[in-house]
Copies of this chain bind each other. A is one copy, B any other.
């Protein structure tokens, strides 16, 4: 975990609000709420909502008011995990140290829980009250969210991932795949915070550059961990990528070179932060954590 009391406090706030969201379950539609809640509350680093809250806080605005918006990305991320884990996709039995959603609720309910989390993410963005976010800017946020997660973003990345399994893959292809599959949503999370804090264009650009490096770094480290860690530490099955013959950064670049590349991406992310008009110590800490995390 991130060893910083303030960051941990925000992560705890996310967890608390996720629990509260499902406090009044709709019993007329069992087991939908239970299936949605199961994977949402199964743990996780909460990196996506954290990024949004941190950006808001770094610009002197109230991160509490950002929470409903920040949760949207966690809902969206969780839907993607549930669908990616399905037997016809990555066929994973373990996630966040627990049996995957379809193992507990069955495939049909898992798909539907994902679908409902997907819609609910939009409800959070469209419906959450916010004192200073204009309706026009909220529309812009929704458009950016769609671009990040749909056929130009996350879903496209997953389709590329499935199609390229077992194929020869270049570094450029691998980067495009991950820029879509995980990078686009992380980029959105940072920009969401920037929109909520109403930052200047120059700061928005620098934060976007930071987010893009962070996203790629996140995936390079993910690949390295999959190769080097054991399943208990990861909370999911390790060595899956090699077993499924997936292209990874260590495989395409070599392990040492992948470590070097991760270091370079860290430096580039830190350089981007220096272009922002104020010091951003929490964002610096987060990208260092992403480089050196062990799960």
Q: Which residues of A contact B (CB under 8 A)?
A: 26, 28-33, 36, 83, 86, 88-89, 106-109, 111-112, 114-116, 118-120, 122-123, 126-127, 134-136, 138-139, 142-143, 145-147, 149-152, 155-156, 158-160, 162-163, 176, 180
Contact = CB atoms under 8 A, between A and B. Distances in A.
8 contacts: A33-B151, A88-B108, A118-B119, A119-B149, A120-B150, A122-B142, A126-B139, A127-B146
Copies in the complex: 2
A151 B111 contact: no
Given A111-B88, A135-B135, A155 B32 contact: yes
A120 B146 contact: yes
A26 B155 contact: no
A82 B134 CA distance: 36
B155 A115 contact: yes
B159 A112 contact: yes
Contacts of A28: 156, 160, 176
A29 B119 contact: no
A26 B151 contact: yes
Closest 6 CB pairs of A and B: A119-B150, A135-B135, A123-B146, A88-B107, A126-B142, A116-B151
